[in-house]
Amino acid sequence: PIVYNFETANTNAKLAVYDMAGRVAYTTALDNNAGLHTVQLPSNTLQAGMYIINISTDNGNVQQRMIIK
């Protein structure tokens, strides 16, 4: 699996992974506990390439690029 770590405040959060064509490759809802979260992304469904990780919370969105080799 691909492990992704990030931190959130005490809020509802959702993580979504998009391929470069804008298709959803993976999505999951996260618990609303503040602190560090660890998500294991399914490596068997994500091909080599570039992806956008989008974390949506009640406070806004954060996007990061991820490259799988």
Strand partners, 35: 8
Phi/psi at 22 (5° precision): 90, 5
Q: Residue 50: pLDDT band by 50, 70, 90 thresholds?
A: very high
How would residue 53 be classed by pLDDT, with cut points 50, 70 and 90? very high
- Contact status, residue 3 vs residue 40, Cβ threshold 8 Å: yes
- The answer to whether 66 and 59 are in contact (CB under 8 A) is no
- What pLDDT, on a 0 to 100 scale, did the predictor assign at position 18? 97
CA separation for the pair 51, 24 (Å, rounded): 10
| C-alpha to C-alpha distance for 41 and 25, rounded to whole angstroms | 10
At residue 1, the pLDDT reads 64
Model confidence pTM above 0.85: no
